[in-house]
Structures are given as structure tokens and as C-alpha cells.
A and B are shown apart, each in its own frame.
Chain A
Amino acid sequence: MIFHSLDFLLFFLFVLAVYWQLGRRAQNLFLLGMSYFFYGYVHPWFLYLIFASTVVDYFCGLTIARHPEKKRFVLWFSIVSNLTFLCYFKYFGFFVDNVAELLHLLGLPSFTNTLDIFLPVGISFYTFQSMSYIIDVYAGRLKARENFFEFALFVVFFPQLVAGPIERAITFLPQIEKERSISATDVRDALFLLVWGFFKKLVIADNVAYIANKLFALEETTFALAWTGVFAFGVQVYADFSAYTDIAHASARLIGFKLSPNFNHPFIAASPAEFWKRWHISLSSYIQDYIFLPLYFRFRTRGVRYAVEKGLLITFFLIGLWHGAGWNFILFGIYHGMLVIVYDRCKVVTPIGIRENPWMRPFQILLMFSLANVGFLLFRESEMDYILRHLTLSPLAATGELQWRAACFLFGQALFFSLPLWIHTAYAHMGHRLIPAESWFRTFLQVMVSAAMFLAILVARGDSEEFIYFQF
């Protein structure tokens, strides 16, 4: 079930109507049932997988608690079984394709991959979420849970099930285990967030997606047209994914839960490290805690720089791979890893007067935004020859008048659609100084802007596309 469907609207209204009539335990059971319904709505067989993953981790958690002497074995058993599910559904087809290609290149008898493995929506998200529980129980940071239903709800909680934020057991399980309440302020804030989320998805993301799709589909292109397409895709992916996050946050809030942050205005990051602190925060902090730091501690005896850089490269390689089974995603990860390393090295030789000078920050942001766009190209384009073509197009090459005007036409539209994102960022950083947080004027402004956004959703929404992050 997708958020921007009438099916979800009916589903969620029903959930709200029943949910607040129940006591906490019944609420949890009801949410569990509704979450399974939500996940199995289109493909009921998805439920077998998520249920299997839940059962494995539930019993692994209990076994670690009851038999501490076996905890290392149980941890690895859980990790291996979770990753086996993930690898089979997400990476096996890619692996087979590459083996066939390699055999072909070596001149050996090859084969055609006739496997057509269907990727269950959200598998990367809930696998990671479930693994965080086992790792934290193993590390002694979290008590193993006895109540199966509450643990199952943590794994399958519908607002964030298919595209995050990736919740940690340590912060989310306590919310399941305590009484929840809702106030008029919660509802009001959730309403604003819902309208903003739907606006970002239906008006911004779906309209710029049209531009990006058209430009990425061109056989012959120019520098301006190609990079307009990349810019449009960058706007699309941010608007699309952050919209999902906002709707997830708002839906969770309406049933008394608080989810982790996932975005913090990533387009004003001034460095790659800052970008990853603002972009898909729940994934990057997860990876930092469960992959980067263990790698660093493993390698630190061989020197800090070696440990950091090797850790970063492996970490970003895995971030790339997490996004999808494709060489472009792996390149995307390695590219960002290299950016972080290069920036870190440059930092050492850049005088602090330049690095920390507030007047330099706009230039740093512009540079980082451009570099992030190269990353978006790798993210979007799965064919290596087209990636190379984009990267080798010269801005100085002669461009026909029509091509140039076409690029201006589409860039103008993409920029127009992205304006609310820039305004939102500017408001988040400066608006609070002008308008006090609890003033009536602020609420008035929020209502007016929400009304305008709702009107825009009605008359200017694009052709509906699925959320991009559903594929991960």
C-alpha cells in the first residue's frame, strides 16, 4: 500500500478510528494486525519473509539473554540468516548476471540468467532494523524482549516499514511498551507535516520526475540538457524520499509515536561528511555505529588514518550496495567515500581562516551541491556508457540554439518546482529568528501555506510515481 493512494487514506482513517478506542496492549495487537495487512496488501507472500525474520530475531534475542555463553554464535546466526534473506532477494540475480558476463568475457561457455527474483518492498529497511535489536542485545545495551507481539510490531510498524526511517530497537521498543497519548498540538503539527509531505511528493517530486525521465531518456544530448536532467533527479529524489519520511513521521505521530529524523536540509551541506549527516540520517548513523566504528576499532592498531580511510571506503561501498544491486550504486557509494576522504585530507592543509570563514560557506555549499549531483547521476543511471557520456560532455561544446533553449525551459521548470524546498531550508535557518516558535502568527502562516499547498496538490500534481526508496 502506498501513502499517496486512496487505499491508504481509508486504511489510515480506519486505524485512527479504532486505535484510540483501545488500551495499550490491544492497541499494539491492533497495530500489528494492521501493519501486516498494510505490508501484505498487494503481495501477501511478503508476509512470510518478514514473519520469518521476526521469529528468528525474537528467539535469537531470548537465547542470548538465557544462554550468554552462546551469545556470539547466536549473534552470527541471526546476522547470517538476515543477510541470507536480503542477499538472495536483492543481490542473487545481480551476482548471477555478473558471473555470466565474466564467463562471456573470458571466452568460456556462458548462460542467460532466467531468474526473475521479485524484490520484497522494504526488505533492506526491516532487515537492518531487526538486526539492530540483536546487536544491541548482544552488546548488553538492550534487554531481550519476552513479548513476541511487541517485538513483531517493532519490526513491522507500518508508517516506516517500507522506506524508513530505520528505527533502533533501543529507542523504539520503549515507545511500544509505554502508554501513548495524543494532544491537539500533535494533531496540528502532524497535519502540517502531512500536507507538506504530500505536496513534496505529488507536486515537486512527481513533476520534476517527468523532466528527469524525459532528459535521461535522450539518445543524443548536450551538457546543459544532461545536467538539467541530473539536477531534476536530485530534486526529485530528495523531495520524494523526504516526503515519505514526513508522511511516516506524521502518521506515526497521529498514533502516538515519534520516529527518528531522516533529513536535515541536505542541500546546504558544505562538505561530504556534513551531507551524510543531513541525508538519510537513520541509515548513515546506523552504518556509522554498526559498521564504520567496528571497522575503525579493528584497524586502529595500524594507524588512525589507515583505519579511518579503510573503514570509510568499506562503509561507503556497503552504503552503495545497500541502495541496490547494480554497479552504479556501488560506484555511488565509493564516490561518496572518496569524497569524504579527499575532503578530510584537504581539511588538514586548508587554513582554518578559509575553512571556517562564514563568507566561504555559500561557495562550499555550491561546490558540495555540484558534487552531490554527480552522485545523483551515479544513483540514477544504471548504464556505464551513459554515465561516462554524461561525465565527458563538455560545457564548452557548441550547442544548438534549440538545445540551449530546451535546457533553459526545463531547468526553469525544475528550479520553479524546487523553490519550496529552498524556501523551507531558508525558513528553517532564519525564519525562527523572525517569527517566534509559539506565536499565533506562525500558526496562521502555517495554515495559509498548508492551504496553498493543498490547492497546488489538487491542480498541479504530476503523474503519480512510486516512491523511489520503495525499491530498496
Chain B
Amino acid sequence: MFSWLKARSPESRQARSGVRDRWGGWASVALILAVILVPPALIRGQREPMRFDDRHLRQLQTLQPEYVFVGSSTLLSRIDPARIGTLRPGTHAYLLGEVGSMSALWYLWVKNSLLPSGVRPKVLFIHFRDTELTDPIDETGSVVGQEKIARNRVGDERLFDRVMGYHKGVIGRLREGLLRLYPIQETWRKSGLWLIDGIGFFAASPEYRVYLRKRLFGSDPITSDEAAEVVAERGRFKARLAGEIFSSANQRVLKGKGGLTGGADERLDFSARLEHAFLPELVRLGKEVAARVIFVRMEPRPPMDDSSLTESGAMGDYQAALRGYLAREGVELHDFNDERAFKFDMYLDGGHIKPEFRSFYTERFVERLSEAFR
């Protein structure tokens, strides 16, 4: 019945046998491939030592905070620890947060920084968006993500590796394999960025152009002071760019619909995701370390007319299942999706609050959860 599928025309046979006959041509293709692919694999480069970064641990020990917040950049844009200090005098708050982090890193922070610090906060707040409690990976598959993990893990992380291994899948493993095959992706990346910055600085700074000319073509040697001054000036310029031109106060509010509330066609099976999530460990460690654990679901930006956002049915079911799970575990969940105090104009984008409204947000947060801040 399917014999026609196997039928090969004389031309096609000829084409394939033609391919085999011209071994010289194929050898040249193999040689070209080797010249392109092999040399970068031979460059190992100087890998920066990836040690555990104890910054959070030390700061927690110094501050001894009563309130600890865990989350990503969306948390950092919302909560001002200094404002909490003024609203509740005599208390301290600490943000265990980093841009682009998700529950994989939150778990590592609580386990490797908060728990060993000896700090026992009154309340541990864990801020998340939509499905982040069961989605451990964001950029953790990238070079930057891997650096973050390396800075926060300690020795044998069996549970961590098991959960991450599940989420990595074939593609994640392939990506890791490529990183091992081409370590220059990691070891040369900073040099690449430094070079690109240097090109911009060359265009922006007449002094740098003079310095480079002297360094490359001058007869007098460059003194170490001169070199240090150039590096320092470059740093100052970059800091001014970040602090003045590209400060968050000078960012446009991008118009558009509100934040994401989950795609309508996405399958959001909470119990299936829970089996491969850090959430159970996060809950267990949270209860061990803090007197009270509160999960906070952060709201996305509302639509331009500040009307309420509609949530997809799948997301509604997921949130109901999450709420049920957390209730069974004896921890609280506060969902800010029904909060009406935060208007469209207060947001920088779909998920972040503008810096000038951070204090206001913190006040409203403390007011709404006043009982937790007693």
C-alpha cells in the first residue's frame, strides 16, 4: 500500500550516489566544519573561581532583621526596607532579592544564607508572580544564570540538582554540554563586554582617545597612575550613564495592556508541577526559620483605565490549588491581584513599580498586612 513511498526515481538515486562519489568535496566540507568548530573548543581560558557568595549571610547577621522578604526584581521595585523601619520603628527589614531570580534561587538563599545566619525573623515574606513558585528556572540555563546558581549553592545539593535536572530536560543538558565544550562562552564573555564598552568609551571620550594613541603609538611608557585613572574615569562615566541618563526615573511608562495573567491555552496543572518544584522545601525551611511564613502573590500592572484584569480559567484553577496547598501546610497566602490602590501610572512596565512609588507601595503593603507587622 505504501510502496510508492519507497519508490526512488533514477534521478534521486543518481543524486545520492553522486554525493558519495565526490568524497573530495565532502572532505572539504568536513575540513571547513573542523576549522570553524574546533579552535574555539581548544581555548579554555581562565575560569573565574565560582565560590559561595556569603554577602546575604553576612548582612543578615549584621542587621538581624525582624522581616525578611524573598523575591525577584519585582519585589525590589515594590518594598523599601528603610520605609518599613520608619513605619515600624525599631524593626529592620531585609530584601533577599535579585533581578531575574525565581524559586530555584529563593530556595538556595533560604537554605544557604538565611538558615545558617542564625537569624530567626518574625515573618518571612515570599513574593512571587503567577506560577513562579512551581517554575524554578528563568535564566538559570544561561551563562549568567549558571553563575548565579554557582554563587549560591554549597557543596552537595542533591535535591536542588534533582529538581533542576527535571526542568533542564534534553535542551538544558545540551546547553550545559555546549558550555563545557566551549568554556570561552564563560571565560571570555567579560573580556567581550569590556571590549565593547571600550569601543563606546573610545567614541565618547577625547581623553581616552589620546591615552590609547599614546599607549599604542607613543614612545613614552604609560605610567600605572595614568592607566588607573583611565580605568577609574571609565567606571565613573558608566556610573553616570546608569545613574543619570538611564536612571529608572527617566524611563518611559510603556503603554499597553496590563501585565500577564497566564495564557489561556497554557496547561497549569498545579499538583503535577508541585512534584518537581522547590515549593515544598521552601515551605518546610520557611517554617523552620521564621515564626510566620507569608506568601505574597504580586499583582501585575492594571489596564490603562485601571479596571480589573481578567484572569484565565487555567490560572484561576492553579491559584485555587496553590491556596489550598498552602492552607494545608499552615502558611498564609495574600493575593494582591485584587488590590485597587496601585494605578496604571505607578508602574514602570507590566511588572515593576516606578521608584517614586516604592515608598507608597510599601506603606500600602504594611497597612494591608498590618497584623503581620505588629
Contacts and interface: CB of A to CB of B under 8 A. Distances in A.
Interface string B20-48: 00100110110011011101100000000
A181 interface: yes
Contacts of B250: 218-220
A451 B39 contact: yes
A406 interface: yes
Contacts of A406: 204, 241, 245
A56 interface: no
B203 A10 contact: no
Contacts of A22: 5
Contacts, number: 156
A383 interface: yes
Contacts of A6: 171, 174-175, 178
Contacts of B271: none
A112 interface: yes
B137 interface: no
B5 A25 contact: yes
Contacts of A424: none
A35 interface: no
A188 B16 contact: no
Contacts of B255: 383
A116 B257 contact: yes
B195 to A, nearest CB: 8
Interface in B252-271: 252, 254-255, 257, 263-265
A149 B249 CA distance: 57
A116 B22 CA distance: 55
A459 B192 contact: yes
A284 to B, nearest CB: 30
Nearest to B11: A179
A49 interface: no
A214 B29 CA distance: 41
Interface string B233-246: 00001001100111
B305 interface: yes
Q: Chain B CB within 10 Å — which of A195, A216, A410 has the most?
A: A410
Given A179-B9, A218-B245, A416 B196 contact: yes
Contact of A455 (B40, B174, B251, B252): B40
A180 interface: yes
Contacts of A216: 252
Interface string A6-36: 1101100000000010111110010000000
Contact of B19 (A29, A182, A408): A182
B355 interface: no
A184 B29 contact: yes
A454 B203 contact: no
Contacts of A118: 263-265
Nearest to B241: A406
Q: Chain B CB within 10 Å — which of A29, A217, A383 has the most?
A: A217
Contacts of B213: none
A383 B253 CA distance: 11
B193 to A, nearest CB: 8
Interface stretch (B109-117, B180-188, B289-297, B314-322): B180-188
Given A23-B9, A191-B32, A409 B203 contact: yes
A68 interface: no
Contact of A219 (B29, B195, B251): B251
B1 to A, nearest CB: 13
Given A112-B303, A455-B39, A458-B185, A413 B254 contact: no
B191 interface: yes
Interface residues of B, number: 66
B272 interface: no
Contacts of A434: none
Given A184-B28, A219-B250, A450-B36, A25 B7 contact: yes
A447 interface: yes
Nearest to B251: A217
A365 interface: no
Contacts of A383: 255
A411 B185 CA distance: 26
Contacts of B40: 454-455, 458
A132 interface: no
Interface in A101-115: 112, 114
A26 B191 contact: no
A454 B36 contact: yes
A405 B200 CA distance: 9
Contacts of A20: 16
B168 to A, nearest CB: 11
B12 A412 contact: no
B365 interface: no
Nearest to B263: A118
B4 interface: yes
Given A217-B251, A459-B188, A459-B192, A408 B15 contact: no
A179 B13 CA distance: 10
B59 interface: no
A217 B252 contact: yes
B12 A10 contact: no
B191 A451 contact: no
Contacts of A5: 171
Contacts of A454: 36-37, 40
Q: Chain B CB within 10 Å — which of A207, A406, A410 has the most?
A: A406
A114 B302 CA distance: 12
Given A7-B171, A9-B174, A413-B196, 13 more contacts: A10-B170, A25-B7, A116-B257, A181-B15, A184-B28, A191-B36, A195-B36, A218-B245, A219-B251, A406-B245, A451-B35, A459-B185, A460-B192
26 contacts: A23-B5, A24-B8, A112-B307, A116-B257, A179-B15, A181-B12, A181-B15, A181-B16, A182-B15, A184-B25, A184-B28, A187-B26, A191-B29, A217-B252, A217-B254, A219-B250, A402-B245, A405-B204, A405-B237, A412-B203, A413-B196, A413-B203, A455-B40, A458-B184, A458-B185, A459-B191
Interface of A: 5-7, 9-10, 20, 22-26, 29, 43, 45, 112, 114, 116, 118, 179-185, 187-188, 191, 195, 207, 214, 216-220, 225, 383, 386, 402-403, 405-406, 408-413, 415-416, 447-448, 450-451, 454-455, 458-460
Q: Which 3 A-B pairs have the closest CB atoms?
A: A412-B203, A184-B25, A181-B15
